[in-house]
Chains A and B, each alone.
Chain A
Amino acid sequence: MDFSALNPIALVASLVVAATPLLFAALGELVTEKSGVLNLGVEGMMIFGAICGFAISVESGSPWLGLVAAAIGGALISLIFGVLTQVLLSNQVATGLALTMFGLGLAALIGQPYAGIKPPSFPKLDLPVLSDLPVIGPLLFQYDYMVYVSLALTVGIWLFLTRSRAGLVLRAVGENHDAAHSLGYNVILIRLAAIAFGGACAGLGGAYLSLIRVPQWTEGMTAGAGWIALAIVVFASWKPWRVLLGAYLFGGVTILQLNLQALGISIQSQYLSMTPYLVTIIVLVIMSADRSRAALNAPASLGRVFHKTG
């Protein structure tokens, strides 16, 4: 085995890039779940965001416009789920799964003409001096802008949930929707907003894949990232900082798997492709071993239908 082929700096840099789409999607889902809604359609929203972002940036030539389109696209498709579950009171699990299928199919349809095209390239951070520093430069100051946006979003969501009144109301709705309703809060509207935010974040995560990480459009390119994002939220016990940790951990597993394959270690590649999912299952088992503690952090109304009465 030749480990010298592994460059630690390049490894960390590729880890960050692999983790960023997960981070976007998981942060969005965190906010959605904090409002008491379980949206299993993350995968569908991501891939839809990926193609929206890709198509618009190819057509317009502007990667930034593509990202905006991805966020809007993700929010719009998530609102289908929102209206179905919040207004028409359909089952959240079934509707979320349907959203995933719908998103995958719709994205494939829209993506037909875009296969094999290269999107406009995305600018990277280039600070004078700082970015040119050896080691520290590539580790901290040479990423694309969206990496920094995702980190800022983590801080922002943490501040929003723990410090702001609006965040408190959101948590209250997720904790006990009947009580929030009787205090006069509009449960349905708040949840729709949280769902749309979750969709926008998932869309950004998807567009990060198609515009920055890969960058190319292939059908089904999210390849289960949405499911990992869902697992990260539980793994993080609904805390933004742990979502960051989880996303980088899972990003790391992905990169490790790719690099081990590249090193030609004689494990069948299928086993390595399994690792992120195996880790997810193991973590979930460990997390839920102590039932009462796991339940303490979960929003108490998660996945429950809110039936507005009197």
Chain B
Amino acid sequence: MTLLTIEGLTKAYPGVLANDHVSFTIEPGEIHALLGENGAGKSTLVKMIYGLVRPDSGRMALHGHPFAPHKPGEARAAGVSMVFQHFSLFEALTVAENITLGMENAPPRAELSARIRDVSQEYGLPLDPDRLVGDLSVGERQRVEIVRCLLQNPRLLIMDEPTSVLTPQEVDTLFQTLRKLSAEGVAILYISHKLDEIRTLCQRATVLRGGKVVAECTPADETARSLAEMMIGGELAMPKARSFSPGEPILRVMELSLPSQTPFGTDLDRITFQVRAGEILGIGGVAGNGQDELMAALTGERAVAEEMIVLSGRHIGRTGPDRRRILGLLTAPEQRLGHAAAPAMSLTENAFLTGRSRQKLDSLGFVNRESTRSFARAIIERFDVRTPGAATPAQALSGGNLQKYVIGREVLQKPAALVVNQPTWGVDAAAAAAIRQSIRDLAAQGSAVVVISQDLDELMEISDTFAVLAGGALSVPQPAAGLSVEKIGLMMGGNLAEEADHAEA
């Protein structure tokens, strides 16, 4: 008997039809993939199944009975659990407290701790109930979410982009757990844009585009390319290959150590690397291993010892962000809204914020409106930013368009060195390809580029050299060509330079 039947679900938000008569079914024990680009309506759909959002019309049935949860508690009681992409966890609470918050009828503390230990052992997800979640790695945090679901004996487990933050080894462990659950009859609705994973893991797939179901297929019978083309509804543009001939070292970081300023942050531990003209250095690693701290040191938001950062032979460790820009070191931080761009300010004003000194957008303390506007227009045009105009506030742009804008703003200033963090996070495939291409073009023109990212595929695609940030320390950068995913996975797990060198030898 079918586990979950979805018929004609429709949900409209002001200005956008998020789900348009979506229908499909999930069988017991099935691992069912839900595919689609950002904005295709996947999140809205699963939120309706989980009771966070009420559909405008359409019906759902669970085990043949009408199913219309009004809140997550009702969905959980009916046997539907969900693991969120951005975890629904509380850092200052313990594992056990986090789990009890997500349960309907939580047992007393001692009994719960025992059950957490049992279930986590049984499914190969070891967890200590008394540890603070803030002290856990990202992979361990995901275990907390999964164990929280498993303790409620779900019939359907929804997983939203579960592997985007995991090391390859952790992904393997997760897949074993999911297969075991599937064998026990638990259905899994698996949302991901990692097509190779879906091909190996999922038995069926439903593809959404623009809020509609556009295809159903068996992933194993498709190629990653054909799946991607179903998602975007067109040809996938592949980046052009590039020959790499490095020049002089431009940016050097030497023995950079920096204590973190946030309670659950990571201290940087003697980070050393150099980037040459024309080179792209990819820095991989799971989030929370020092990426934010490294970025803060490179942008100049936090001062470090003068000799720790060297730009074209000049010590700039204590130099502030604006002076670094004049010297040629430009940066694009991870968070588009609020860090890379001021949300309520127009694109023109945002162009002024980082372009002022290099592009000479002011004179005698006054903003030169005409040249600022033409700089903003140049970014919009060159990087195909879809917006009504340069006067639009940054927050009105979609994630992908704003990301193109903030990267383009730095690229157009012809930096000697560019540092970007998560350049394509939450960006659809077409925009991501365009952003990557612009980064490669910049390097081809002789800039030194550092790309910090959690997306290994992305790093493998664009990096010339590759290093991993783990626990605040950086592995020795190596040529990216010839690195295997397994080796990178070991490096990400914390087996740094020595291990990689052994593997090399």
Interface residues of A (CB under 8 A from B): 165, 168-169, 171-172, 175-176, 178-180, 182-185, 291-293, 295-296, 299-300, 310
Contact = CB atoms under 8 A, between A and B. Distances in A.
Given A292-B265, A295-B262, A179 B92 contact: no
Contacts of B52: 182, 184, 310
Contacts of B315: none
B91 A300 contact: yes
A183 B76 CA distance: 10
A182 B90 contact: no
**SS class of chain B's interface: helix, strand, loop or mixed?**
loop
Contacts of B265: 292
B90 A175 contact: yes
A197 B192 CA distance: 44
7 pairs of A and B residues whose beta carbons are closest in the complex: A184-B72, A179-B88, A296-B263, A175-B90, A182-B88, A184-B73, A184-B71
Contact of B72 (A182, A295, A296, A300): A182
A296 B262 CA distance: 8
B129 interface: no
A292 B97 contact: no
Nearest to A310: B53
B265 to A, nearest CB: 7
A310 B92 CA distance: 25
A306 to B, nearest CB: 14
Given A172-B93, A175-B91, A179-B89, A292 B101 contact: no
B54 to A, nearest CB: 10
Q: Which of B86, B92, B262 has the most CB of A within 10 A?
A: B92
Contact of A292 (B47, B72, B89, B261): B261
Contact of B88 (A171, A183, A295, A296): A183
Interface string B16-41: 00000000000000000000000000
Interface in B186-243: none
Nearest to B69: A184
Contacts of A169: 101
A169 B103 CA distance: 12
Contacts of A310: 43-44, 47, 52-53
Interface in B262-285: 262-263, 265
B88 A300 contact: no
Interface string B84-102: 1011111111000100111
B101 to A, nearest CB: 5
B106 interface: yes
19 contacts: A165-B106, A168-B93, A171-B92, A171-B93, A172-B97, A175-B91, A176-B88, A179-B89, A182-B52, A183-B72, A183-B102, A184-B51, A184-B52, A292-B261, A292-B265, A295-B263, A296-B263, A310-B44, A310-B53
B260 interface: yes
Q: Which of A182, A291, A293 has the most CB of B within 10 A?
A: A182
A292 B262 contact: yes
A172 to B, nearest CB: 5
Contacts, number: 66
**SS class of chain A's interface: helix, strand, loop or mixed?**
helix
A175 B92 CA distance: 7
Contacts of A291: 261
B45 to A, nearest CB: 11
Contact of A182 (B84, B97, B100): B84
A182 B44 CA distance: 13
Given A175-B90, A178-B88, A184-B71, 18 more contacts: A165-B100, A168-B97, A168-B100, A171-B90, A176-B88, A178-B86, A179-B84, A179-B87, A180-B90, A183-B88, A184-B51, A184-B52, A184-B72, A292-B261, A300-B91, A310-B43, A310-B52, A310-B53
A230 to B, nearest CB: 21
Nearest to A294: B263
Given A310-B44, A310-B53, A296 B100 contact: no
Nearest to A292: B263
Contacts of B88: 176, 178-180, 182-183
Interface in B295-319: none
B123 to A, nearest CB: 21
A189 to B, nearest CB: 12
A185 B263 CA distance: 26
Contacts of A299: 92
Nearest to B44: A310
A130 B93 CA distance: 43
Contacts of B263: 292-293, 295-296
Contacts of B261: 291-292
Contacts of B47: 310
A178 B93 CA distance: 15
Contacts of B260: 292
Contacts of A295: 262-263
Q: Which of B51, B87, B102, B106 has the most CB of A within 10 A?
A: B102
A310 B72 CA distance: 12
Given A291-B261, A292-B262, A310-B52, A300 B101 contact: no
Nearest to A185: B101
